[in-house]
Structures are given as C-alpha cells and as structure tokens.
Amino acid sequence: AKKRGKNNFQFYVYENEDIMERRLKIEQGLKAALDNSEFELHYQPKIVLTSGEICGVEALLRWRHPELGVISPLEFIPVAEETGFIRKIGEWVIKEACRQNKLWQKSGLYIKVAVNVSSIQFEDDLFAERIRQALMESQLSPEYLGVEITESVMQNVELTSVTLHELKQLGVKVSVDDFGTGYSSLSVLSKMPIDLVKIDKSFIDEMLTDSNTASLVKTMITMAEDLELDIIAEGIENEQQVTFLIENGCQFGQGYLYSPPIPSAETEKILKQQLMP
C-alpha cells in the first residue's frame, strides 16, 4: 500500500479502522447482550420431502445489537468463540430452546427442536451434563431436543465419542451439520452414535448444474442409508432440487422454498395449522 501514495494508504488505514471498530463493538456488545436480552431464537422448519409435512425445527440465533442492528451469527459466532462468550451464549440457546418447546407442548404442539452447538461448547467435559440439567429444569423430555454439531468436532475422536455416548444415553439425537465440507472419515462416522447427517447447502446449490456434485450427493445419500442414518438436505430453494432429492432417496429437507427461519410466534402459528388442523 505504501508505494501507491499517501491517499490510498490513508484510505486503507481508515477502512481497517472501521472494521476494527465494528469488531470491538461486537466483542464488547457480546458481554452485555445476554443480560440485556438482546438474543432471540428463530426457528426454521424441517420438512418430510415427499409429504411436505413439518417433522422438526432448527433453532437459529439472532442478535439485535442496540446500535448496529441485527447482526448475522456468521459474524458474531466466530467472535463469541474467540472470546469464550460462546459458552454462556450456547448455554442460553439450549435453555431457551427447551423453554420454548415446553411452552409449545403446553398448548398441544409436539415437535423436535434442534440447537446448533459450537465445537468449543461441545468439547466441554460437562456438555452432556448441561444438556441433562436444561432438560430437567424445563421438564422437556429428551426426545424433543436435538443437537447439531459440525464435522470439525469429530476430529477429537475420543472426547467426542464419550460425549456422544452420554447424549445417546440421555436420549438426545445428534446431527452432523455441514456434512461433506470438512474432514470426517467415513470409518469414524460409522463408529459414532449419531442419528442424522445434514448435506451442506453448497452441494444442494450445485447438484443440478454440476455432475460431480450430483454424484457426491447421491453417494452421501447411499452412505447414510448403509450406515442407517437419516439424511436431510439444507438450503433447498426450488422444486427441481426437491425432485432430485426425492428421486435419489433423501427423505428430509430444509430451506427457503419451505420457510426461512422465523420468530417463535410465527413458528407457533405454522405448527398449529399443521399439527392441529
């Protein structure tokens, strides 16, 4: 940047200052966000592709920053992970999802809610114990809670395996999120007590235009069948994708075609229409 002259150099510095200032605001904001009730969970339906029925919902975290407005989890989760705030935030997500689901049950709506779990959270020895406590406090029965972990968690085979067995014993189902994007050997996957794999959106985006991706998706579906795992496609945006997935044996899906993540009140309306017609 130096050689390009003074003006360019200044521009470069200012731009970086903006980025740093925003990052600082996010970091400092995270400290107060829980106490100030700035977080909210939205819910995205999971669909049985052949019937269009809702078979579950995924809880996705939203943060309304008092000054910066709504900030995407893609921006603040990494900051929360670096600073360690993710532990407290993750705990809140689990408790809130249990609380909300119990409320739905009180009005007769029975649905499984899955929460996203950061690897930092999952690698805590007490993770399964925290889940057990959240279930106990909310009086929610374990079959109505699921956790989504990413493939990267699988790298720590021993620790992961202990926690996964604890969760299995509790009766909480585990999904492997963003499947296909990371390193996870099939042999490891086959030995772990997991219940569901989620095909990453990047594959769904390309499977109709790229034949290699199409083969990959087919292979993932066959593999899940062989391992007796359920499989769900994320990021479905059109009917052609649904047709391809059904033809190739993928049972479940999620995506804007059906619904984006929506606030709890709207979710409740949709659930009522569907579950209590």
Give me the residues that bind Ca ion (CB under 5 A), please. Answer: 116, 148, 177-178, 200-201, 234
Give the nearest distance from C-beta 137 to Ca ion in angstroms. Answer: 24
- Select the binding partner of residue 184 from Ca ion, ligand C2E, none (C-beta < 5 to 8 A, by kind): none
- Select the binding partner of residue 256 from Ca ion, ligand C2E, none (C-beta < 5 to 8 A, by kind): ligand C2E
Per residue in 227-254, is it b (16+ CB within 10 Å) or e — as a string? eebbbbbbbbeeeebbebbeebebbbbb
**Which of the residues 82 through 141 are near ligand C2E (CB under 6 A)?**
90, 93, 116-118
> Does residue 151 interact with ligand C2E by CB under 6 A?
no
| CA dist., res. 157 & res. 188, Å (int) | 8
Parallel, antiparallel or unpaired: strands 145-150 and 113-116: parallel
- Select the binding partner of residue 77 from ligand C2E, Ca ion, none (C-beta < 5 to 8 A, by kind): ligand C2E
Residue 229 near residue 198, CB atoms below 8 Å: no
| CA dist., res. 76 & res. 253, Å (int) | 26
Binding mask 5-44 for ligand C2E (x = CB under 6 A): ---------------------------------------x
Residue 146 near residue 175, CB atoms below 8 Å: yes
Residue 49 C-alpha from the chain's centroid? 19
- Select the binding partner of residue 168 from ligand C2E, Ca ion, none (C-beta < 5 to 8 A, by kind): none
DSSP structural state of residue 61 = E
* Binding range to ligand C2E, per CB under 6 A, among 153-161, 211-219, 254-262, 267-275: 254-262
* Total residues binding ligand C2E (CB under 6 A): 22
